[in-house]
């Protein structure tokens, strides 16, 4: 049972209600699931919206300026709701870690500001938070403080499992090392325990999470990611294993071999490129060149010809010229990603790049982003068309509101919308692909075992 209960030996939040709003990445979603589980264990109940809750908890993302702006406007809108009901309002996660003073000043009605390493303490603090506001922004995370298996999960079939947290890379644009701290690895046995328990509950897919999963090392045995994948694959019931995020510098032949030889590891990889220009990659401190990246992709494609690739790209990094950007476009053309996440550069506090002049005009950044996304959309449409007519395995994540329509993802992590006469939510099925758009595939349930 959760630590929160053991500390007091009672359901200390009995009768209270909570609402969690999550901004940001998969790790934030997983952190919110952990927090929700702790609150449930302490006796609190989830509310449908902030108006009905005693505790309004906002889990935040600091990675780009835009995400912080969105958060600030959300916190602004919560003021009235909080005051009307006298609720406790907490700002948690990465923005809390980065901007604690600024937050307290800008939003004097915040009751709690807590960074990403202290979710385990939140229930007890909420209980005691009647008079004073609190600020918690430690740098160390103690995995033993958290329940191994969060009870509250967004999906009943696909689960995020955090294996490491933090980053030692210090890419010059990135705030992550300043909010999540240095790399901390979760013990392998604790990861396996969580995955076993997920399989007992019927989960079919696990996504192993970390800012830099390639550098995973079991603190007890020194086992790396390839061995972790092999051990997770031994757990019966789990059908698909994914891992995110890989760093191109550390993505090596051993991992490619593990992906090829362990049947359950999906032939799908998210490998953030950031830029196709060597000059910019160096300024970003990414520690690889475009040739290194291409070489790794070639090796991967020759070992796993059906690999589905996705990436992150930043446009408008300081000093980026039209030629630099063309180099990025060129790699888009050569690699043919199934999906990309692309962003306009924005300077982040404390990062090395924030000391450079943000000299690419906003309209140039927008123009490059549009060109990148327009070309990528065409590539995606071409790739998706090549799947039409095939029958693929799909993990059905749920029904849509319209009758007989279901949504899921294929092994390549593409969205598949399909028709089925029977309810196949939370099951692995086969779907015959009959059509597509740039962002999704569609089809019909195939009458074959998955």
Q: Measured between alpha carbons, how far is 433 from 418 in angstroms, rounded to an integer?
A: 8
Interface with ligand SF4, residue 94, by CB under 6 A: no
Nearer CB in complex with ligand SF4: 74/178: 178
Interface with ligand SAH, residue 346, by CB under 6 A: yes
Interface with ligand SF4, residue 97, by CB under 6 A: no
Structure-block tokens of residue 330: 């060129």
Nearer CB in complex with ligand SF4: 180/409: 180
Shortest distance, CB of residue 273 to ligand SAH, whole angstroms?
A: 9
The Cβ-side half-sphere exposure at 415, using a 13 Å CA radius, reads 14
Of the candidate spans 217-225, 344-352, 384-392, 419-427, the one that interacts with ligand SAH by CB under 6 A turns out to be 344-352
- Quick one: what does residue 64 bind among ligand SF4, ligand SAH, none, with the CB cut-off 5 to 8 Å set by partner type? ligand SAH
SS3 state of residue 415: strand
Q: Measured between alpha carbons, how far is 78 from 57 in angstroms, rounded to an integer?
A: 11
Structure-block tokens of residue 410: 């294929």
Interface with ligand SF4, residue 177, by CB under 6 A: yes
Nearer CB in complex with ligand SAH: 117/365: 365
Q: What angle do CA 335, 341, 345 make, to 5 degrees?
A: 110
Interface with ligand SF4, residue 214, by CB under 6 A: no
Q: Is the CB of residue 44 less than 8 Å from the CB of residue 16?
A: yes
Interface residue with ligand SF4 among 169, 197, 354, 426 (CB under 6 A) is: 169
Interface with ligand SF4, residue 167, by CB under 6 A: yes
Of the candidate spans 17-25, 91-99, 166-174, 182-190, the one that interacts with ligand SF4 by CB under 6 A turns out to be 166-174
Number of residues this chain uses to bind ligand SAH (CB under 6 A): 17
Alpha helices by DSSP H, listed for 15-132, are: 26-41, 65-85, 94-98, 100-106, 122-128
Interface with ligand SF4, residue 176, by CB under 6 A: yes
Query: What DSSP line would sit under 327-340, residue for residue?
Result: HHHHHHHHH--SEE
Interface residue with ligand SAH among 118, 158, 190, 211 (CB under 6 A) is: 211
Q: What angle do CA 204, 206, 211 make, to 5 degrees?
A: 170
Write the Ramachandran bin of 120: left for phi over 0, alpha for psi from -120 to 50, otherwise beta: alpha
Angle at which helix 322-335 crosses helix 362-385, to 10 degrees, equals 10
Q: What angle do CA 153, 156, 162 make, to 5 degrees?
A: 45
- Quick one: what does residue 269 bind among ligand SAH, ligand SF4, none, with the CB cut-off 5 to 8 Å set by partner type? none
Shortest distance, CB of residue 271 to ligand SAH, whole angstroms?
A: 9
- For residue 19, the tally of other CB atoms under 10 A from its CB is 21
Element holding 314 (H helix, E strand): strand 308-315
Interface with ligand SF4, residue 247, by CB under 6 A: yes
Interface with ligand SF4, residue 246, by CB under 6 A: no
Using CB under 6 A as the criterion, what x/- string covers residues 263-292 for binding ligand SAH? ---------x-x------------------
Q: Is the CB of residue 54 less than 8 Å from the CB of residue 17?
A: yes
**Nearest 10 degrees: Cα torsion 12, 14, 19, 25:** 50
Nearer CB in complex with ligand SF4: 247/344: 247
Interface with ligand SAH, residue 74, by CB under 6 A: no
Residues that bind ligand SF4 (CB under 6 A): 167, 169-171, 174, 176-177, 211-212, 247
Residues that bind ligand SAH (CB under 6 A): 63-64, 173-174, 176, 211-212, 245, 247, 272, 274, 312, 314, 343, 345-346, 348
């Amino acid at each position: 049972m959760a630590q929160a209960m053991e500390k007091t030996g009672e359901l200390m939040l009995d009768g209270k209600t909570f609402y969690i709003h999550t901004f940001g990445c998969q790790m934030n979603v997983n952190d919110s699931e952990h927090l929700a589980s702790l609150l449930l264990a302490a006796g609190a109940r989830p509310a449908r919206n902030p108006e009905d809750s005693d505790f309004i908890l906002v889990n935040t993302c600091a990675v780009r300026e835009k995400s912080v702006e969105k958060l600030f406007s959300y916190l602004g809108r919560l003021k009235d709701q909080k005051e009307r009901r006298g609720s406790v309002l907490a700002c948690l996660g990465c923005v809390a870690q980065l901007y604690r003073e600024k937050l307290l000043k800008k939003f004097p009605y915040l009751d709690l500001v807590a960074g990403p390493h202290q979710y385990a303490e939140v229930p007890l603090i909420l209980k005691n938070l009647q008079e004073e506001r609190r600020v918690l922004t430690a740098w160390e995370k103690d995995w033993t403080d958290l329940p191994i298996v969060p009870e509250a999960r967004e999906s009943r079939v696909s689960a995020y499992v955090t294996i490491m947290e933090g980053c030692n890379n210090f890419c010059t644009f990135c705030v992550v090392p300043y909010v999540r701290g240095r790399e901390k690895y979760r013990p392998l046995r604790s990861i396996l325990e969580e995955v076993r328990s997920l399989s007992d509950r019927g989960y079919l897919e696990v996504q192993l999470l970390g800012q830099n999963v390639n550098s995973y090392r079991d603190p007890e045995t020194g086992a790396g990611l390839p061995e972790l994948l092999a051990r997770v694959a031994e757990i019966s019931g789990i059908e698909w294993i994914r891992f995110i995020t890989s760093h191109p510098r550390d993505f090596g032949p051993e991992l490619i071999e593990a992906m090829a030889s362990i049947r359950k590891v999906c032939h799908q990889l998210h490998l953030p490129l950031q830029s196709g220009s060597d000059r910019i990659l160096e300024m970003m401190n990414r520690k690889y060149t475009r040739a290194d990246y291409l070489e790794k992709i070639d090796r991967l494609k020759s070992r796993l010809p059906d690999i589905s690739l996705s990436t992150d790209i930043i446009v408008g990094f300081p000093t980026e010229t039209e030629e630099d950007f063309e180099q990025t476009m060129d790699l888009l053309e050569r690699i043919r990603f199934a999906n990309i996440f692309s962003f306009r550069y924005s300077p982040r506090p404390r990062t090395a790049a924030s000391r450079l002049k943000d000299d690419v005009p906003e309209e140039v950044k927008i123009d490059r982003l549009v060109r990148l996304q327009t070309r990528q959309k065409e590539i995606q449409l071409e790739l998706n068309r090549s799947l039409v007519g095939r029958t693929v395995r799909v993990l059905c994540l749920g029904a849509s509101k319209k009758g007989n329509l279901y949504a899921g993802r294929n092994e390549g992590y593409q969205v598949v919308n399909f028709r089925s006469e029977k309810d196949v939510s939370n099951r692995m099925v086969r779907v015959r692909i009959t059509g597509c758009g740039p962002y999704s595939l569609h089809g019909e349930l195939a009458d074959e075992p998955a």
